[in-house]
Structure 1
Amino acid sequence: MTTTTFAAAAQGFVRDLEEDFARVAATIAQARASGADLLALPEAALGGYLSSLHDDGTGGAGPDVPPVLDPDGPEIRRLAALAGDMVVTAGYCETGDDASGGRPYNSCVAVTGDGVLGRHRKVHQPLNEHSSYAAGDRFTAFDTPAGRIGMMICYDKAFPEAARALALDGARTVVCMSAWPASRTDRAPVLAEDRWARRFDLHDRARALENQIVWVSANQAGTFGDMQLVAGAKVVDPGGEVLATTGPAPGLAVASIDVDAAVDAARRHMGHLRDRRPATYGAAPVAAGA
């Protein structure tokens, strides 16, 4: 039996990279003390997220934007050095390239002290995020000391196809890093009862259950710009059961699980990947108004 310990952070981050690295170092130390093999930090952990997802009249070109980081630059190397023998995933704003016309990407990276293990660029863009970032174009699993994993960012998890693509690529654990806010137009007085907080949790549990995988969900906490972030970091088993969660507060959700045993047991009789009928699904027509 090989047990893997996962830690998922609900934590706030800011524009100042030195402050962010101080918070990252403290969280890594806390995760290491808990015996974590993998720590998931939130979307935009290095430099903070956008201050608003709504057009402020500048088309996303306002002054308060995240620092843009080289994917092979000193900040990513610094993160790897802090990770040491632990797998650490974190989000950041990545320098653009020719394919993006120079526009940055909303990206995440998985590292250990040996360097970069995998990368992901956010594919699905909510509201006005497209004004600030170019979109990624793929979901790919990769091998790590904590097993074969896939990564996604925030709104990506609202699309079942994204998690399914990673599961079909052999990921037995998916790490989702978010800066998921509460409702802007009808915010509940109690954060845990907010409709967007409930949706955040429903997506986490559904994606784990339908793919019969372990799901590790990190999220920003507190406030940033005009957003109240819902926290809710958690570890979910292949049956959709929450093993650990921070609830609507900052903190670290830590849980240990034998990933292969849990995934194999979940798929033994009701194998959702095995029992698919891809030939019957086809390419659905685009709905009117989509």
Structure 2
Amino acid sequence: MGHRERVQLMVGDWMQRLISPGKGYVPCPRKLQMFVWRLRHESLVVCANLMRRGLKLDQSKCFFCGRAEEDGAHLFIKCKHVKQAWRELGMEEERSRLEEFTSVHAMLDALWGFSEKKRVLVITLWWQWWNIRNEIREGELAPGVTETIRRVRCGALEYAERFVPKKKDRQEGKWRPPSADELKVNLGGAFIPGSSFCGWGAVIRDSTGHIIAARAGRHEQNADAFGAEIQAMAGAVALAADIGAVRVIFETNSQLLAEALDVRKTDSSPYAVVIEDIKLQLKLWFARHRYAHADEVRIP
């Protein structure tokens, strides 16, 4: 480990102790850790904190609802607009529990009583909400609640992939063949932040590992990594249908994609039309299909 990596590790450990002393690890980037630290020490530049320091403001109301004075509790928990975001996230019960506390320290201590997954979702929601608040302050157009929650879920899943220590087992990283009457489609998308296109690829193998078919492509007008995974899934479904596959396993390393394709749920993301079309194609072409999650799979 080089000097730079040692310094980053020391800073990360220091930040963890500051924002959650004795409470455990927070799997998120340094900028979110600093955000939570500022929240704990009431140093975010919300209007209430600025006025407490003697600054005179022309506007001190909430930038979302314009009704109540803007403080941390109102901005992240009590505002009617953020309440809608909590409901979209399926965490209204948790929001109500945090609303009972009058102290930010007590509230954050209660937050650390949540499961790690919920804790990261809440912190990611607050971070996204804070960024949107600043955009509104600068006169920019805010995204809708549905788009905000999509960003929150994507961010939380990304942090889980990057920062949660992976449990090692003997099967980790090994491609597993399908049963004799099934075919397995491994698929994936690639996206470079800042670009407007993505690449995708899919390969179909049988129970012996023999390659039946493969296809790759490029899709224009793509906004994020999740869009790349959606295009990869669409291409994989088309490839499997073209070769006449009947029973198929679609293996992807995107947990968000597998959740979006759940037939029991209606997707409301910007990719809803593509996702619903994929669901329809799956029903039309395959007698049986299922999904598998691959974590850094090494294909022979």
Larger radius of gyration: 2
- Higher RCO, 1 or 2 (CA under 8 Å, sep at least 6)? 1
Q: TM-score range by the shorter chain?
A: under 0.3
State the TM-score, normalized to the length of structure 2.
0.24
Higher percent of residues as helix: 2
State the TM-score, normalized to the length of structure 1.
0.25
